[in-house]
Amino acid sequence: MKFMLTKIPAMTGLCLVLLGGSAPGGKLPSLRPPLEVRPLNVQAESDKALAEALRSQSPAAFGRLRQRIRHAPSPYTRYWLSYLALYESIYYLRQADRGRAEQAIRQGLALFQEHPPQRSEDFALLAYMQGFAIQFRSGMAAAAASAKVRDNATQALQLDARNLRAYYVLGSTDFYTPARYGGGKKAEAFLLKALTMPDQTTKAAQTPAWGREQAYELLVKLYQRESRPVLARRYYAEARRLFPGSQTLPELGRSLARPVAANP
């Protein structure tokens, strides 16, 4: 399953202030932050951590970001720690280390076992990670995992019918389910529905906003697979306008340049 991890909301960082000194009888000390005060955007920082890890061939960047998340406590701390574990698993897969990749995603999923999901966003991320973890299973275990993915994504929509990420997960699950098991029939509808949803349904700080870029990418791949190049190019062009800095869309664009026989 291809994962692109795209545009998530800000998480407030922990800030310290230092008192400036003053001579007796002088002015009162001023409050000066020792560092620039900036919110912690875990989604953007996760992208950077993955890029740095791949460049340095070391997972150290994930450990540093994990500490920053833990020192900026919020209602979404466990959510973002799980999300980061997904990125770390992606890194190990790209390093051809399936053992550590599986271990990383299991650690992320374990956070949901310790603290069961309650919010729509929790169920959507849990379903997303369960879908990613299916590649480490086979046979009946994989089939059972797919059912859990659909159940949790559906639960996310029951709690918030406008959750873009839940529609994306349902579309992704159907896209990657083999046709002999009934897959490939609902992906288009779910992905198009995802694109009609807002990035966030609440303006509360630290809530997630990823999923739109991934939905576009998968929709383009679906149209490629079905030999519908006009639609593939249309949605690719939309995605490029919305995400000009994407690291993965250019590769998808190169695949669109290859000749494909269109369906009538």
Residue 8 has pLDDT above 80, yes or no: no
Per-residue pLDDT, 9: 37
- Segment 13-19 mean pLDDT: 28
Share of the chain above pLDDT 70, in %: 83
- Token pair for 97: 């280390």
Q: For residue 130, give Cα distances in angstroms to 81, 149, 249.
A: 15, 6, 24
pLDDT for 149 beyond 90: yes
pLDDT: is 138 or 114 the higher one? 114
Judged against a pLDDT cut of 80, whether residue 28 lies above it is answered with no
Binned at pLDDT 50, 70 and 90, residue 26 comes out as: very low
pLDDT at 19 over 70: no
**Minimal CA–CA distance to 89: which of 142, 134, 152, 120?**
134
pLDDT reading at 207 higher than 80: yes
What number is the average pLDDT over the span 17-31?
A: 36
Confidence of residue 7 (pLDDT cuts 50, 70, 90): very low
The predicted model gives 22-35 an average pLDDT of: 39
> Higher-confidence residue: 18 or 242?
242
Question: Tokens in use for 216?
Answer: 């576009």
Per-residue pLDDT averaged across 197-213, rounded? 89
What pLDDT, on a 0 to 100 scale, did the predictor assign at position 41? Answer: 85
Q: Mean pLDDT throughout 52-70?
A: 96
Q: Provide the b/e sequence for 146-167 (b: ≥16 CB within 10 Å).
A: beebbebbebbbebbeebbbbb
| pLDDT reported for residue 259 | 62
163-196 pLDDT tens trace: 999 999 999 999 998 888 888 899 999 999 999 9
User: Could you say which DSSP state residue 18 is in?
Assistant: E
The CA-based angle 45-51-56, given to 5 degrees, is 120
Q: Which long-range contacts (CB under 8 A, 24 or more apart) does 194-203 make?
A: 194/164, 194/165, 194/167, 194/168, 195/219, 197/162, 197/163, 197/164, 197/167, 198/162, 198/164, 199/7, 199/164, 200/9, 201/160, 201/162, 201/163
- Supply the DSSP symbol for 32: E
Q: What is the pTM of this model?
A: 0.81
Identify the sign of the CA torsion 149, 154, 157, 158. Answer: negative
Q: What is the pLDDT of residues 217-229, one digit of tens each?
A: 999 999 999 999 9
